[in-house]
Amino acid sequence: MTRLTGTALRVTIFVGEADLWHHRPVYTEIVHRAHAAGLAGASVFQGIEGFGASSLIHTQRLLSLSEDLPVAVVIVDTEEKVRAFLPQLDELVTEGLVILDDCEVIRYVGRGDAE
């Protein structure tokens, strides 16, 4: 398993849950490509309300607008690996927001890893 500690780069990708890439959710495609690229991990979080560049508010409270809730995909790895992955996001994210943040990894341990 990869040991990831210290300075890292976090990429957060905001898309709609209804955004598709070849009949598959964009967030699913991002996670599978991140895995194939050997990145340390990826997590998907569904928002309960939000708006983006379209200024249309999507919320769970209104049935008609609950079909495209915001989704955030978060990936953390070394700067080199994250930056190498960015061109894939250019291809996948046709609507949405991609941000980068410097971060510090304090603990990264998988199941069954010895201390």
Whose tokens are 């209104």? That residue is 62
- Cα–Cα distances (Å) from 77 to 20, 50, 69, in that order, read 25, 27, 27
pLDDT band at 13 (very low <50, low <70, confident <90, very high): very high
State the CATH class of domain 6-105.
alpha beta
Mean per-residue pLDDT for 55-77?
Answer: 76
Mean per-residue pLDDT for 57-79?
Answer: 78
pLDDT band at 1 (very low <50, low <70, confident <90, very high): very low
Q: What is the pLDDT of residue 54?
A: 73
Under DSSP, the state recorded for 29 is H
- Cα–Cα distances (Å) from 29 to 7, 42, 52, 90, in that order, read 27, 11, 21, 13
Beta bridge partners of 25: 20
- φ, ψ at 88 (rounded to 5°): -65, -35
The pLDDT > 70 percentage for the chain reads 83
Q: What is the pLDDT of residue 112?
A: 66
Across all residues in the chain, what is the average pLDDT? 87
Q: What is the pLDDT of residue 60?
A: 67
Q: Where are the domains of the chain?
A: 6-105
The more confidently predicted of residues 64 and 14 is 14
pLDDT at residue 69 above 80?
A: yes
